[in-house]
Amino acid sequence: MEERGDFHYSLRMHRIQRKGGKLYMEGVSVEALADRHGTPLYIYSAGTILDHYRRLRGVLRALNPLVCYSVKANSNLAILNLLARAGSGFDVVSGGELERVRKAGGMAAKCVFAGVGKTEEEIEAGLRAGVKAFHVESEEELQAIAAVAGRKKGRWAPVALRVNPDVAAGGHAKITTGTYANKFGIPFEEVAAIYRRAAGNRYLRLRGIQMHIGSQITQAAPFRAAVRKMVPLVARLRDRYGIDYFDIGGGVGIVYQDALASGQQGWWKTPKAQRFMTLHEYAVSLVSLLRELRMQILLEPGRFLVGNAGMLVTEVLYRKQTGKKHFTVVDAGMNDLIRPTLYEAFHQIEPVGKPRPGAIATDVVGPVCESGDVFGHDRTLPPVERGDRLAILSAGAYGFAMASNYNTRPRPAEILVTGSRARVVRVRESLADLWRGERKS
């Protein structure tokens, strides 16, 4: 481990550890939480979220950045409030997310409003709230924002263009955003001309410029390549139009497996090991380029702050053996955590109780009526029995936030743990909740 911020956080560093063989989140027994609140169950560590926020700001302290947490990663009000009290800003992509931030105590003036398809109602909401800026993804959107502002007497809209630098970031095709094959941003070559035209519009104020090249990026090189390409353009726009910030986006990846973390090697099979950049390497690759701009620097981390802070706890319902496969059927499904189905994502799976001796190779699957409802193929786990609980780790980002009611399944409860205290931050949905608002005729 590197003291300066290695991405290879161990389970203990996530505040997930074993005591007497049993899994704990901070100072609270995971088994006890499952007994009390049922499963499936999301559990988050407040300490991990704050630790990651402070580490990120710490390695970039030379820039004094404004960290704008990407709300789409996990939008629970308690998590938003935790970060707001720590001083975080927010990156929102809908009117609903903006209202969530305000409800949680966040400041609209520290919110950037992104998204390729803002409606006029959302633009009006952002103007009323007083967001820091709209991050604009097309010239037509810029014209729409100006038109909405023009209908408000004495109002103007703060804007920053999102630039697509055409830099490939690697990773899954569904989460890359920085190439011309993606729907996001304005092509690099067109940006200067659009700023020139926007500067003449009295209903717009040019506040900054933004980029975001993708998600779950594990190497420093793509970040540095994109920033290096952007810096000369940013400097010209700063000098010509007085823009005051450069938002370099988010995308910092996390480790989804760490077979050595628990000290019990051999329980599972993991993908081929990959060396991840450290936070120190990330900072070193960017600080020298950005410091010379003498502008406010914004970051938009999401997964990095909350991903390794959460787990989804599920109970074993049945075991079955076909002619070729062993299956462990659990009560969580793809409607609760869709990442493995949608992105072929790997999540480490751990027994919640004290592991039994031995090992089995099994597919961990859910009850949803889809063949893709699988959390892990051919995982090597300790033998499990009906009623055992399993923890699906690194589920704090794009877990509950992407959950649905498919198969008419209520969404799980959410628990936030702080030290030895655990509190329910979202109650489990009831069946009646699922058809509230519907009409039979």
Active-site amino acid positions: 369
Pairwise CA distance, residues 214 & 380, whole Å: 31
Q: 3-class secondary structure for 52-74? A: HHHHHHHHCCCCCCEEEEEHHHC
Decide: residue 15, CB within 10 A, 0-12 exposed, 13-18 middle, 19+ buried. buried
Q: 240: part of which helix (H) or strand (E)?
A: helix 220-241
Fill in the amino acid letter for 131: V
Fill in the amino acid letter for 298: L
User: Which residue's structure tokens are 């009117």?
Assistant: 95
Sign of CA dihedral 218, 219, 221, 224: positive
Beta bridge partners of 304: none
Largest CA distance in the chain: 73
User: What is the CA angle 59-64-67, rounded to 5?
Assistant: 80
Number of Cβ within a 10 Å radius of residue 336: 29
Number of Cβ within a 10 Å radius of residue 360: 14
Token pair belonging to 422: 């655990």
Pairwise CA distance, residues 231 & 238, whole Å: 10
User: Whose CA is closest to 205, among 136, 111, 120, 114?
Assistant: 136
